[in-house]
Structure 1
Amino acid sequence: MRLSLLSFLAIPFTFITFCVAGVSEIKPVKAASFSVVAEGLDNVRGLSFGPDGSLYITEAGVGGNQLCTPSLKESVPNQFDCIGTSGAITRIKDGKQERVLTGLPSQALSPIGAQGVGASDIQFDRSGNPYLLIGFASNVNYNNTPLNSPNWGQLYKVDFNTGTLTSIADISSYKLVTNPNGIFPNGDLASNPYTFTIQGDTAYIADAAGDDVLSVKLDGSNLTTVTTLPGQTITNPILPSPEASPAPIPQEIQVASVPTGVAIGPDQALYVSQLTGFPSPEGKASIFRIEPDGKATVYADGFTQLTDLSFDSKGNLYALQFANQPFYNKGNFDGSLIQIAPDGTRTTLLSGNGLESATALTIGPDGAIYVSTKGDRAGVGQVLRVDNSAKVPEPSSAIAVIALGVGVGSFLKRKRCG
């Protein structure tokens, strides 16, 4: 069963039943070759290379049999969300795939194990120390951590030798105190730390359900909100018939931002991708550059359902689309990997052809791009190695791309990294 990314992000928004029309302005060009480097993964998410060159992969897991409750995901009625300790970190070393840390909290649809939530990202600091982000898209007031596992909604420092986790930042508790943007329709606070990056002694975290970006020192101090990304108002794409919905139908609806990937640019500024909330309108997802004062300005737009981004050593930005069309309507989960050159030229390296329900990417030491695919389901998740040495430029597009500013003050040096 192919299910929605929005469900495991659990974005706070008002649901309206209708369809989306339109065609994405990103034209796919199949030019890059790829190979499968990991497979059989359960709700595969974040990727990062360790100091020894090994690839580390987070798996959100398949849930379990604890604390089963009726699912709130309307795309899968009459299903249950169950909790367990099936989350893991997998390592690819010398061609061998093995789980090097298990017993992490996981929630997923039972019994199919799809739309898992749990271990969401892993990164290494400049000393080679690993850090793990565990998300959770739910009411942060609800204590439903599975038995004998770490807590939800926290950033941890990992010791692979002992298998222990040390909490660096309790993001869910921070939400309760600060009451940021993420609110469920019933008024409860929402939090789902989804991805993060590390620059110097500071981690930058995208909270998909909270619509904000946080920062925290790696010693656990100075947890703060960097910025809250704005939502947008869109025209209701296709109104349902009066017979299907007798209540008044709004001509315009509010769409949440839903930040996903975070990356440090060549100018040392922070860049953030957005998924956009339901109904994930085509061509309405953007990449933001965060100004020194926390103001978010659009760097590139016209994307659909972005889940991650990363810069290479040449200043090229890579953006990952979970799916090129709204999953709930079109039934097509083909995603895309898109390169944005420093001059704004866009190139689609891979679209479909094995890339679907794409959840994360990273740049390898070999210069290739590694991408998580089939990331919303159990047992079939993969990591692809995409060779970007051969590519075909996109045709000219009306989509605006703002080139990296020259001489702009360093956000990280001035505001966070000291």
Structure 2
Amino acid sequence: MSFLKKSAFSFAALTFCFAVISETKPAAATMVSVIADGLDNVRGLSFGPDGSLYITEAGVGGDQFCSTSFTMPDRQACVGISGAVTRIKDGKQERVITNLPSWAISPTGGQGIGANDIQFDAAGNAYLLIGLSSGVNYNNTPLNSPNFGELYKVDFNTGALTSIADISSYEFAKDPTVLLPNGAVGSNPYSFTIEGDTAYIANANRNEVLSVNLDGSNLKTLVEFPDQTITTPTQEIKYQAVPTGVAIGPDKALYISQLTGVPIPEGKANIFRVREDGKATVYADGFTQLTDLAFDTEGNLYALQFANEAFYKGNFDGSLIQIAPDGTRRTLLSGNGLESATALTIGPDGAVYVSSKGDRPKVGQVLRIDPKAKVPESSSALGILGFGALGVGSLLARKRR
């Protein structure tokens, strides 16, 4: 996750190219249920081969290597080993991997960065993505934990993690000029998906998507997203793309969700489709600060927005939007318990599972949402709006080149 990219705060008119504002009748409370609670900066979700749900927790930091936070310059942030992977099995919530590296605001433990995502390959092997970057100091810490900024293969029987790809080192070798204020490599791999023997990774900090074979070979950049521009009556303002979620579509193309950097232009976040040649085109637009996306077996695409307004407005109600194959959109949930939404996955039961309150400690939740039924919208009644910032700066950290 990243530090806030500096940019002028000025906004163009809010536009929704395909946005639908719809009224919905109240639905039964059982349509949305909490299946996990008490999580620390909850992030990625994935179902394992046994049907259990695995959840990554970025943790609450610790008490080592404290320095000025690059997400909140008036606060301190510290490193620790409070990250974890939690499993929901037969209704029981249990941390099955612990002592993962974590960076968070001190002493509250908010805006944690660490275990970002978890996925399984076709053979049932688990892979864990840890965000941020190992940096010049973190690699030599006495934490006795895995490094930041790497993709690992997980053995749940032993708890062992085997590094598949050192993304931070790759990024530093490619461009050593992109550094965080503390000297760490400017990198934040946020989420990934697996297709065959290849992992596809969205690096929010570097504005690119990478791929690597699951045996660790052939780590490369597939596509880089250039800065984008909004035009106001007085000036043009550039902002960074900040890719977040990665999904494989029914057409086998890559689909990428976009957060957007400061100044968080509402209605300007896109879903990109990436062809085999690496060319990205806009598949759907009119969103605000997307954090994840996924397809179901019927070809519906689900897009997740962290909050329904830009983060600095202080309203963190999120939205889950369904996009049918014909482009029709429907808001499944807006507010009503969904806030600071950070990740989603489709369950074997066809329900959508969403990480909520993902920018804070102790209160993170996973919600189960039935896509077959409409759910009441928040008082804003806006079906398509946005995301604030994963713990404000968590996703956004990259120093300007």
TM-score bracket relative to the smaller structure: 0.7 to 0.9
Instruction: Name 1:61's counterpart in structure 2.
Output: 59
Structure 2 residue identity aligned to 1:42: D
CA distance in 2, matches of 1:180, 1:266: 37
Summarize the Cα distance change of 1:35–1:29 in structure 2 as closer, same or farther, 3 Å threshold: farther
Instruction: Name 1:313's counterpart in structure 2.
Output: 297
Q: Which runs of 5+ in 2 are unaligned?
A: 386-401
Deviation of 1:331 after TM superposition, in Å, equals: 1.1
Aligned positions of 1:362-381 closer than 5 A? 362-381=345-364
1:367-409: CA deviations, max 9, x gaps? 00000000000000000000011249x99x999xxxxxxxxxx
Structure 1 residue identity aligned to 2:93: Q
CA distance in 2, matches of 1:186, 1:140: 8
Q: Identify the range of structure 1 (23-32 vs 313-322) with the bigger mean alpha-carbon deviation.
A: 23-32
CA distance in 1, matches of 2:20, 2:366: 23
1:43-81: CA deviations, max 9, x gaps? 00000000000000000000000110011224xx53110
CA distance in 1, matches of 2:10, 2:36: 37
1:292-338: CA deviations, max 9, x gaps? 1101000000000100000000000000001111011x211011000
Structure 2 residue identity aligned to 1:263: A
Instruction: Name 1:283's counterpart in structure 2.
Output: 267
2:138 paired residue among 129, 143, 153: 143
- Given that 2:4 and 2:71 are in contact with CA atoms closer than 8 Å, whether structure 1 keeps it comes out as no
Deviation of 1:204 after TM superposition, in Å, equals: 0.3
- Given that 1:319 and 1:339 are in contact with CA atoms closer than 8 Å, whether structure 2 keeps it comes out as yes
1:121 equivalenced with 2:117 (yes/no): yes
Summarize the Cα distance change of 1:171–1:28 in structure 2 as closer, same or farther, 3 Å threshold: farther
Instruction: Name 1:243's counterpart in structure 2.
Output: none
CA distance in 2, matches of 1:293, 1:181: 27
Instruction: Name 2:235's counterpart in structure 1.
Output: 251
1:340 paired residue among 323, 331, 337: 323
Instruction: Name 1:388's counterpart in structure 2.
Output: 371
Instruction: Name 2:389's counterpart in structure 1.
Output: none
CA distance in 1, matches of 2:271, 2:177: 19
Q: TM-score, normalised to structure 1's length?
A: 0.84
Provide the aligned length of Structure 1 versus Structure 2. Answer: 373
Structure 2 residue identity aligned to 1:334: D
Q: Which runs of 5+ in 1 are unaligned?
A: 1-8, 238-249, 400-418
Summarize the Cα distance change of 1:187–1:96 in structure 2 as closer, same or farther, 3 Å threshold: closer
Summarize the Cα distance change of 1:391–1:327 in structure 2 as closer, same or farther, 3 Å threshold: same
Q: TM-score, normalised to structure 2's length?
A: 0.87
CA distance in 1, matches of 2:161, 2:248: 26
Aligned positions of 1:137-176 closer than 5 A? 140-143=135-138, 145=141, 147-176=143-172
Deviation of 1:22 after TM superposition, in Å, equals: 4.0
Aligned positions of 1:6-405 closer than 5 A? 9-11=1-3, 13-17=5-9, 22=14, 25=19, 27=21, 33-74=31-72, 77-136=73-132, 140-143=135-138, 145=141, 147-179=143-175, 189-235=185-231, 251-328=235-312, 330-391=313-374
CA distance in 1, matches of 2:178, 2:325: 33
CA distance in 2, matches of 1:165, 1:109: 26
- Given that 1:90 and 1:100 are in contact with CA atoms closer than 8 Å, whether structure 2 keeps it comes out as yes
- Given that 1:28 and 1:351 are in contact with CA atoms closer than 8 Å, whether structure 2 keeps it comes out as no
Summarize the Cα distance change of 1:189–1:89 in structure 2 as closer, same or farther, 3 Å threshold: closer
Q: Identify the range of structure 1 (257-266 vs 186-195) with the bigger mean alpha-carbon deviation.
A: 186-195
Deviation of 1:142 after TM superposition, in Å, equals: 4.7
RMSD: 2.7
Other structure's SS at 2:216 match: coil
Summarize the Cα distance change of 1:207–1:228 in structure 2 as closer, same or farther, 3 Å threshold: same
Q: Identify the range of structure 1 (318-327 vs 23-32) with the bigger mean alpha-carbon deviation.
A: 23-32
CA distance in 1, matches of 2:302, 2:205: 23
- Given that 1:13 and 1:185 are in contact with CA atoms closer than 8 Å, whether structure 2 keeps it comes out as no
Higher RCO (C-alpha 8 Å, min separation 6): 2
- Given that 2:164 and 2:214 are in contact with CA atoms closer than 8 Å, whether structure 1 keeps it comes out as yes
Summarize the Cα distance change of 1:226–1:190 in structure 2 as closer, same or farther, 3 Å threshold: same
Deviation of 1:30 after TM superposition, in Å, equals: 5.1
Deviation of 1:203 after TM superposition, in Å, equals: 0.3
Runs of 4+ residues over 6 Å off in structure 1: 185-188
CA distance in 1, matches of 2:354, 2:384: 27
1:173-211: CA deviations, max 9, x gaps? 000112299666899751000000000000000000010
Other structure's SS at 1:191 match: coil
Deviation of 1:235 after TM superposition, in Å, equals: 3.2
1:245-283: CA deviations, max 9, x gaps? xxxxx8222110000000000001110001000121110
Instruction: State, as a whole percentage, how many aligned pairs show the same letter.
Output: 69
